[in-house]
Amino acid sequence: MSFFTELAHQYIDGEWKPGSGSWDIIDFNPYNGEKLASITVATAVEVDQAYRAAERAQRSWGATNPYTRRRVFERALRIIEEREEEITEAIVAELGGTRLKAAYELHLAGEFLREAVQLALRPEGRILPAPEEGRENRVYREPVGVVAVISPFNFPFLLTLKSVAPALALGNAVVLKPHQNAPVCGGTLVAKVLADAGLPDGLLNVVVTDIAEIGDALIEHPVPRVVSFTGSDRTGRHVAQVCAANFKRYILELGGNSALIVLDDADLDYAVDAAVFSRYVHQGQVCMAANRILVDRAVEREFTEKFVAKVRTLRVGDPADPETHIGPLINSSQADTVSSLVQQAIDSGATALLHGAVNGNLVAPSVLTDLPADSPVLQQEILGPVALIVPFDGEDEAVALANDTPYGLSGAVHTGDVERGVRLARRVHTGMIHINDSTVHDEPVVPFGGEKHSGVGRLNGESMLDAFTTQKWISVQHGRSRFPF
């Protein structure tokens, strides 16, 4: 595939070049093990070059008319639409994403680019009152300067654009480090699209590397003022500590352990459909996925029977096959981890209504119930096709179970009474929650983010202004001030 030949490089100051490290990141197809690309890692030298290029380019870009800036994203949208099939094939090959998942990712990427077009014009200044005659208080919205973006492997094309496009639209420059398992879809492919759309050189730089090579150079470097990180809470904690020590702003979009709650008056067939999608989309490798399905004991038996029957219909296999629902996990380490979690839960007393077989990186769905209240699997994010069904008695217990986790990203409530659902949803400590729908949602204009270990800050819509701009107060004294001495 040409993308994996053409784009297997670093991208710094408008040039495609090899890294100067002593080892390579190998990009594999997680389904068949095919080697897609070999990329020599960037060192701290390339990281510095990327930041210096971004710093130089941002000065003129920040002063560019926003109507001019937004044209880049209008063209990028057209390019993605024109190259949809090629990008789909890349997502299938590099991520093991099904064609359905690729279509969903590209649709959302287009929506976020449309929002970036509008966002370029969104910053507004203000004039505030002053206590003294003749004084004028002006507040300006200005770009922060240079933004570091660290993106994940699961929806890399979308989640990279989600931070990169708004940061650029608002007048910043970006240095991007994609995940090692998605260096093309989450990194160099984004750079290629924006470069072809006319983004000036130096404004987006991509360094394909690893902490084993550069340590904390990416986030300790003096140039970036904001770090946007999407990934695990363990790594996010470290990013926050380094940023705080260096007085940098950070936005953390981290993991989840979301609960989909089925009340006793829910439409069970619909709730089953929502729960199956919420748990098994992209093999469960989604931060918003419904790890835990909480079901009122009054309808538990009927719901569980319908849920298991639906899960049995999911096809596991080649992600390039349009009929496939569940493709491979991203790598063998993740497949082994998920398999071990299921076995540990069973050994601790859980009942496996389905125990999915493992074949390479393909992990078939599992459904567990009768979990002990202290089962560790109830407390953690599971990036794999494993559903946990937990019964409850009444709304108070449902809320207590939903909140019994260090995470607080997404959730859902299914009920025949919408306002009942809203009342319960407001008691769940989570950044986002949906009534009579799935737990997996993202929209360009709503505040996206989590509570507790699920993150710090919000993205999307007006939140992008807070994330990627800063406010400057300039006062103007018309006439002469009087001073006490």
Within 8 A by CB and 6+ apart from 241, the residues are none
99-119 vs 156-169: helix crossing angle, rounded to 10: 10
**CA atoms of 351 and 377, how far apart (whole Å):** 13
Residue type, 291: N
Q: Distance between CA 485 and CA 482 in Å, rounded?
A: 9
Q: Which residues contact 113 (CB under 8 A, 6 or more apart)?
A: 73, 76, 77, 80, 161, 165
Active site residue 243: no
Q: How far apart are CA 400 and CA 310, in angstroms?
A: 28
Q: Which amino acid is at 482?
A: R
SS3 429: coil
Residue 185 designated active-site? no
Q: Which of 298, 295, 186 is CA-nearest to residue 231?
A: 186
**451, 453, 456, 457: CA torsion to nearest 10:** -30
165 is written with which tokens? 């496009």
- Comparing C-alpha atoms, which of 456, 299, 292 is closest to residue 377? 292
Q: Specify the residue for token string 């095919």.
A: 34
- Parallel, antiparallel, or unpaired for β 469-477 and 135-143? antiparallel
Q: If you search the block for the tokens 């997996």, which residue do you land on?
A: 440
Q: Which long-range contacts (CB under 8 A, 24 or more apart) does 463-466 make?
A: 464/119, 464/122, 464/166, 464/170, 465/119, 465/122, 465/123, 465/141, 465/170
Alpha helices in 170-204 (DSSP H): 189-196
Distance CA 12, CA 288 (A): 33
3-state secondary structure (DSSP) of residue 20: coil
What is the spatial distance between Cα 245 and Cα 429, in angstroms, rounded to a whole number?
Answer: 29
| C-alpha distance from residue 476 to each of 141, 336, 472 (Å) | 17, 64, 13
Q: Is residue 429 within 8 Å of residue 453, measured between CB atoms?
A: no
Determine which one of 46, 115, 213, 287 is catalytic: 287
Alpha-carbon Rg for the chain in angstroms:
24
Distance between CA atoms of 101 and 66, rounded to whole angstroms? 33
Residues labelled catalytic: 253, 287
